[in-house]
Amino acid sequence: MKRAGVLGLFLALGCGDQVIPELPSGQWLDLVDPRAVLATDLCQTPQPGDSPLRRLTNAEYRNTLEDLGLARSDIEEATSNLPNEPISLGFRNGARTLNVDALLAQEYARVAKTFAPYVTPSCEDGQTDRECAEEFVANVGRQLFRRPLSSDEVSAHLAIFDAAVAGGDTRSTAIAWLVEAMLMSPHFLYRVEVPEDESARVTGYEMASRLSYTFWQSPPDEELLAAAAAGELDTDAGVEAQVRRLLRSGRALRVYEFYEQWLDLDELAVVERDVELYPELPGNLAELLRAENRAFVEDLLRDGDSTLADLLTSEHTFANAALAEHYGLEGPDGNTFEQVDAPGRRGILTQGMLAVQDAQTRTSIVRRGLKIRTDFLCQTVPAPPDDVDLTLDGIGADLSQAERLALHRDNASCNNCHQMMDPIGVAFESFDAVGRPRSEDEYGAPLVTAGEFMGTMDIDGPVDSVDSVALALSDSREMEQCFLIQNFRFFFGREAKAADLCSQAQLTEHFQTSGQDLAELFVGLAKTDAFLYKTGLGDAAGGEP
């Protein structure tokens, strides 16, 4: 299995001899301190890692259109045919996968043509049409390109206006033509950053976009653009001040998209289950499960003092009357999601994430265990050999799923992988395939929940319930590092590589110093070299560890 984290990156760069002459089993947590990494010669100069060009995601694109004053309902309708982004590293915003192919370019052109007539100038009395157009290009261009336009750019767009007027178009039609051109520009569709010869500080206007699209998933507001113009984003203190301001806004809750994609809830459109085994399920169960997780996570983020342990171990959730009845909880009697006590449940581990992994007729011990292994511990489980039967057909038909899997693991070609998944997934068996607590499986067989963590850095040992899984993960440095890496992947739109060692150590130190505070994690992201600096043309982008 492949592990990633400060430890892996540290050793990959060959820095081990500076701090870790040997790595005794079970002692790596005591020996690998992010402060020790930051004290090495490597981290005395900025190490930004890779700085790929980033296209707006569909969500960012819609938010950006909305900031032009367009109605959200109109935007949703007009962009309904945008192709879904491909999944890379578990997320839909990988910089190198968000290309513009012919189909997407066609959709962008259609949306631009739809909305261009609605972006109109306010001409002052006495202004000529061209004077009004010139002022409009400068003002709207600054908004759309997230920076002031150069004189050449202003002239190029005015040439579109002039050509339209010369061809007999009205002023409003000519304005619409140039707006359409702006909405199709790479400077609108991408977060453009001009590369330097060597690694360099991100410029003020580039930083304004990094900040706003990271924490709001939308373009900079006027205060950010003014801060960029005043040079306030050229200092670490100025950047941190803006991060904290952005996080106080309701728009900061858009960072929830990280959690939605990390937990696969973006894939939960419908919960399809065998109606005989799972009768009378709410018809909108998928919607309820997604709303539960959003309300739970957003409450933690708003709280300001919530930690990674709260995310994993909280014995409360959020529910409305329908979901409370489904779960068998006491609580709300209306449609509003409210906090309810949920003894026996554990944070995100017993929410909709389970239903995404499960099958129509049963829970999936394998997929549940795989989810924890890959997305909570950042380990890679190899794909099964081509000649292996992936079903449990013919194995102990009268046995429980856990018992059948135990027999399946007797096959040597299956054991190496399944021993890393099954003993974790089995601990979740006290919850059925629609997230309800249970005392027997789908077919009335007694539950088997005794499992084990193995092959981990710091939590090997028995687990017999979701409680023990949650508590083990909340105490794990490996889980902590995986959580930080998942955030890095999402908010930077790329994998953490060896060149990001110092940024990983910076983020780790900030997160640990804050007591693993979920909101402070975002401040920590903005204090890394990867956020404050960009790779130069002459720099190596940083290879894989």
Establish how many alpha carbons lie within 13 A of residue 227's alpha carbon, considering only the half-sphere containing its beta carbon.
25
Q: How far is Cα of residue 34 from the mean position of the Cα atoms in its chain?
A: 24
Handedness of CA 501, 506, 507, 512 (dihedral sign): positive
Interval 373-430: pLDDT, tens: 999 999 988 776 655 555 554 455 566 666 666 655 546 555 566 688 889 999 999 9
pLDDT at 498: 86
pTM of the model: 0.91
Average pLDDT over residues 184-191: 97
Residue, of 398 and 469, whose pLDDT is higher: 469
Query: Taking a C-beta distance cutoff of 8 angstroms, is the pair 85, 98 a contact?
Result: yes
Interval 140-174: pLDDT, tens: 999 999 999 999 999 999 999 999 999 999 999 99
Average pLDDT over residues 482-490: 96
Q: Which residue has the tokens 């902590």?
A: 480
Average pLDDT over residues 344-360: 97
Q: CA torsion 478→479→482→484, rounded to 10°?
A: -110
Paired tokens of 533: 């600096």
Q: Count other C-beta atoms under 10 Å from residue 303's C-beta.
A: 13
In this structure, the chain runs to a length of: 545
Interval 5-29: pLDDT, tens: 444 544 444 444 444 333 334 344 4
DSSP, residue by residue, 114-158: HHGGG----PPTT--HHHHHHHHHHHHHHHHHTSPPPHHHHHHHH
Largest CA distance in the chain: 88
Query: Taking a C-beta distance cutoff of 8 angstroms, is the pair 464, 356 a contact?
Result: no
Interval 514-541: pLDDT, tens: 999 999 999 999 999 999 999 987 664 4
Going by C-alpha positions, the residue among 37, 60, 1 that lies closest to residue 493 is 60
Ramachandran quadrant class, 57 (left: phi over 0; alpha: psi -120 to 50; beta: rest): beta
Establish how many alpha carbons lie within 13 A of residue 465's alpha carbon, considering only the half-sphere containing its beta carbon.
10
Cα separation, 289 vs 352, whole angstroms: 5
Cα separation, 147 vs 316, whole angstroms: 45
Average pLDDT over residues 498-517: 94
Query: Taking a C-beta distance cutoff of 8 angstroms, is the pair 498, 464 a contact?
Result: no
Paired tokens of 137: 């290009």
Interval 300-309: pLDDT, tens: 999 989 999 9
Cα separation, 369 vs 341, whole angstroms: 26
Query: Taking a C-beta distance cutoff of 8 angstroms, is the pair 238, 269 a contact?
Result: no
Cα separation, 160 vs 156, whole angstroms: 7
Instruction: Return mean pLDDT, the chain.
Output: 89
Q: What CA–CA distances, in Å, run from 312 to 177, 468, 470, 539? A: 52, 11, 6, 40
Interval 431-459: pLDDT, tens: 999 999 999 998 888 899 999 999 999 99
Q: CA torsion 524→526→532→535, rounded to 10°?
A: 90
Paired tokens of 192: 């453009």
pLDDT at 537: 78
Average pLDDT over residues 465-476: 97
Query: Taking a C-beta distance cutoff of 8 angstroms, is the pair 193, 206 a contact?
Result: yes
pLDDT at 404: 65
pLDDT at 407: 56
* Confidence band, pLDDT 50/70/90 cuts, at residue 338: very high
**H or E segment to which residue 212 belongs:** helix 204-215
pLDDT at 388: 56
For the chain, give the percent of residues with pLDDT over 70.
86
